[in-house]
Amino acid sequence: MSQRRGKQLTGWDAATWRAAAEDPSLRSTVVALVLLDSAPNWKRLRERIERLTRLVPVLRQRPVRGAFGISAPRLAVDPDFDLDLHLHRYRLPGRGSWDQLMTEARRLSLSDFDHNRPLWEIAVVEGLPGKRAAVLMKLHHAIADGQATVMIGLALFELSAQPNPDEPPTPAAPIAESVSVTEVSLADIADNVRRGVGAAERAAGILGDLARGTVSDPVRTWTGAWNTVGSVTRFAAMPEGSLSPLMTKRSTTYRFGAFDLPFADLKGAAKGRGRSVNDAFMAAVGSGLDRYHARHSQVADELRFNVPISLRGDPGDRSGQAANAVTVARFVLPVAGLSVDERMTAASEAVAHWRDEPALRLADPLAEVSWLVPVPVLAQAAKASDVTTSNVPGPPLPLYLAGARVVGMYPLVATIGAAVSVTMVTYDGAAFIGVSVDDRAVPDVADLVDDLRAGFKEVTGAVVGGADPFVKPSRGDATPKARQVRKQAEASR
């Protein structure tokens, strides 16, 4: 019975669902653009994706709602699951182009999910230069963060052009049964009561610890308590507005851009300064945004950054599962006129400070409390963010999909209220950068992408790939991955 009723979205997942469902500007989709060196074998691909839906249960689960509408939906196995409703295949018109592919990714990302079906979709796009193909994988952020998306991909991809020889057999499809609104409503009530009792017990435990600590070590006990209260206050603070004097407007639509660079260059730039890759990544983004403001004769002394921080590996996390295990730190960083060293130092200190915040591990409980906050208020806070940066480690070795080699993995993530979102995924020695921009905040996406490329070049001191991997670059202006794609594309013309 409990399996039929499914499991209720809670915490961060539930908050993401609610915000996206009630405000289109907070649409929460993740699109992975996987570039292939050839068209995949269609039959093998269907078999791989069918197998994936059996290995990753959430890909066969649909949202079900109770009668009262005051709880997050439950995810239960779809009794009418049909792979053909989620998997599509088509060709681009004419000779195909990178801009057309970006347009397809944008259309897919901005199209809402069918809330009566599992929250994902895959499109195989053929007709690209050089007989290439691309796979656009779309997921709702409520069921997977960036790292979980990579984990889902690893269950889909293969290690060579031939099928993986030692894979375990494909499990049986989950048994699905229809569930009534009454059953869902009763399950919601039971879960809500259970969570309420759990919250009361945790509160009683905290009060008991305070009472005991007041007797045994009052200074340490109350210092810790006030530090936690202060941390929660900072974590939940609602900013008044964007800090950028330029990227102030917001819309319900966004556009994408992308480029790549050798990961060793970025890693070397960080290591040479005793910093992390994420410090170098954020420094490059800050430099690019500084340049973009200067392009428009504006100065952004500071910008508000959103930085997802993974909790995988923490006690009680859900690592290894296709789900969210992340919280978001929001902080202000200096931007205008800094050196590379100063940018890395500022990023390093800000992230380190937030990692030490007690509220970081209270993200899910705080997200539960967000149900008491009207969505327009949450939207106002989200739109006060200037930029979101996310750095997701990917597989370091080459992968294949149904006989085709993967030559690129570009992460294209909804802006979710911010003016700009920049996400990096590493794969097979390259760093692939996906850029999302709000249409009103940044009407000239190509200019911003060029400025971000210049920011990465400033940090690494090395070559950065162009904004179109199918266009022949000027001499010396290409990364190894981009050269591989472009060389084969040129040979086919």
The DSSP line for 147-160 is: HHHHHHHHHH-BSS
Q: How far apart are the first and last CA of the chain?
A: 59
Q: How far is Cα 438 from Cα 308, in angstroms, rounded to an integer?
A: 19
User: pLDDT value at position 357?
Assistant: 65
- Burial class, 473, CB count within 10 angstroms (exposed 0-12 / middle 13-18 / buried 19+): middle
Domains, the chain, ranges and CATH? Answer: 2-181 (3.30.559.10), 254-395+408-491 (3.30.559.30)
Q: How far is Cα 425 from Cα 94, in angstroms, rounded to an integer?
A: 30
Nearest Cα to Cα of residue 75 among 142, 168, 135, 171 = 142
Q: How far is Cα 209 from Cα 186, in angstroms, rounded to an integer?
A: 34
Label residues 425-463 b or e (16+ Cβ within 10 Å = b). Answer: bbbbebbbbbbbbbbebbeebeebbbbbbbbbbbbbeeb
Maximum separation of any 2 CA atoms in the chain, in Å: 80
Q: Where are the alpha helices (DSSP H) in 157-297?
A: 181-216, 218-236, 263-271, 277-295
Q: How far is Cα 328 from Cα 384, in angstroms, rounded to an integer?
A: 14
- Burial class, 135, CB count within 10 angstroms (exposed 0-12 / middle 13-18 / buried 19+): buried
Give the count of beta carbons closer than 10 Å to the beta carbon of residue 297.
Answer: 7
User: pLDDT value at position 388?
Assistant: 94
Q: How far is Cα 5 from Cα 177, in angstroms, rounded to an integer?
A: 9
DSSP states of 161-174: SSPPTTPPPPPPPP
User: Which of the residues in the chain have pLDDT under 50?
Assistant: 1, 312-322, 324, 475-476, 478, 480, 482-483, 485-486, 489-490, 492-493
Q: How far is Cα 480 from Cα 464, in angstroms, rounded to an integer?
A: 10
What is the residue whose two structure tokens read 């610890």?
209
